Amino acid sequence: MTESGFFASVDDVVDRLAARGYLASAAVATTVFLADRLGRPLLVEGPAGVGKTELARAVSAATGSRLVRLQCYEGVDEARALYEWNHAKQLLRITAGRDEGWEAARADIFTEEFLLARPLLTAITGDEPTVLLVDEVDKADVEVEGLLLEVLGDFQVTVPELGTIVAKRKPFTVLTSNATRDLSDALRRRCLFLHIDFPDAELEQRIVRTKVPGVDEALAASLVRVVGALRAMELRKAPSVAETVDWARTLLALGADTLDDDLVRQSLGVIVKHQDDVTRVRDRLNLSEAGR
C-alpha cells in the first residue's frame, strides 16, 4: 500500500490548486498537504458555501486522480455506501445452474462478480490515484459513522463472505460536514480537522476576480467590503463566498461599475436570503433613507 504522495510542499499545494481555480488560504493549503503526507482523512467543517466540496474536486483535478463521491443523507446505509450483493443476478445464477449442488452454487454466487461496489469500496479498490469525497457526513445516521471507521482508519473493507479487501493505494479522503450534529469522537480522532471560514478580504477579492473575470478591481474590492460588513451583522444566513460570486455576476450583468444605493437595494436578494435579514441590512446600511 502506498501513500497518495500528491504534493511536494505547501507551496506546491497552493500553486496547483490555484491552477485549477481554487485559491486556498494558508491554513487550507497546509492542512491539505499534511493530509496528503500523513495519509490521514481530512474532516472539513465550515459554513455553507465556502468551498468544502469544491476543495475535494480541486484536489482531484489538480492531481489528475479520479473522484469518488459518497453523498450522505438521512438513511444512507451499508448497501448504498459500501457494497451490496446483486440479489437478482444471484437468483438468476442459481436458477441457471439447477442441477449443480448447493455447495458449488454457494461458492460461485459469493464472488466479486456478484458484488456491487458502492463508493467506499470503489475508492479503495483499483490502482489509479483516487480522491474520496464523503459529502455532508453529518446528515448520515450515527451507525454509518461506525462503517466509516474501518474504511478511514485502516483503508480496508471486510465482506464477511469474501474476507478483507485492503486498499492497494490509499485514497486522499475528504469528509465534509455542516455541523448539524456532533460527529463521534472516534471518527474525529481518525481525521485531520480543518475549519474553513469565510476568506479574508484580500483572498475573497482574488476569488471573485478569478471566478468573474469581467469585474474590475475597484468594484470587486467594494463588494467584498459590503459582504464583509454583512457577515459582521449576525444575520440568520450570512452571505457565503458563492453568494459573493453570484452578486458579482449579477452586478456585471446589470452593467454596473460602482456600487450605489439603488443598485444594492435592487440586488440585495442575491446575497441575503431571509426577509428578516433584508430588513435588517436595509436598516443598518441606511438604504431606505438614502432612497429619498
Q: Which residues bind another protein (CB under 8 A)?
A: 10, 26-27, 30-31, 33-35, 37-38, 40, 45, 74-75, 87-88, 91, 141, 179-182, 185, 188-189, 192-195, 197, 222, 225-226, 228-229, 232, 234, 236, 258-261, 264, 276, 279-280, 285-286
Q: How far is the CB of 154 from another protein (least distance, A)?
A: 14
Nearer CB in complex with another protein: 42/165: 42
Q: How far is the CB of 18 from another protein (least distance, A)?
A: 17
Q: How far is the CB of 103 from another protein (least distance, A)?
A: 21
Give, in order, the Cα–Cα distances in Å from 261 to each of 226, 252, 267. 12, 16, 10
Measuring CA to CA, which residue among 98, 93, 130 is closest to residue 113? 93
Question: How far apart, in whole angstroms, are the C-alpha atoms of residue 176 and residue 167?
Answer: 22
Q: Please give the grid coordinates belonging to residue 116.
A: 456491487
In sequence order, which ranges of 131-184 are alpha helices (DSSP H)? 142-154
Nearer CB in complex with another protein: 70/251: 251
Nearer CB in complex with another protein: 162/179: 179
Q: Classify strands 115-117 and 83-85 as parallel, antiparallel or unpaired.
A: antiparallel
Nearer CB in complex with another protein: 112/257: 257
**Burial call 173-187: b when 16+ CB within 10 Å, e when fewer:** bbbbbeeeeebeeeb
Per-residue HEC secondary structure of 202-222 comes to: HHHHHHHHHHCCCCCHHHHHH
Q: How far is the CB of 231 from another protein (least distance, A)?
A: 11
Q: How far is the CB of 50 from another protein (least distance, A)?
A: 12
138 and 183 in contact (C-beta within 8 Å)?
Answer: yes
Q: How far is the CB of 66 from another protein (least distance, A)?
A: 25
Count Cβ atoms within 10 A of the Cβ of residue 196 and give its class: 0-12 exposed, 13-18 middle, 19 or more buried. buried
Nearer CB in complex with another protein: 163/255: 255
Q: Please give the grid coordinates belonging to residue 2.
A: 502506498
Count Cβ atoms within 10 A of the Cβ of residue 50 and give its class: 0-12 exposed, 13-18 middle, 19 or more buried. buried
Nearer CB in complex with another protein: 24/245: 24
Nearer CB in complex with another protein: 26/107: 26
Q: How far is the CB of 193 from another protein (least distance, A)?
A: 5
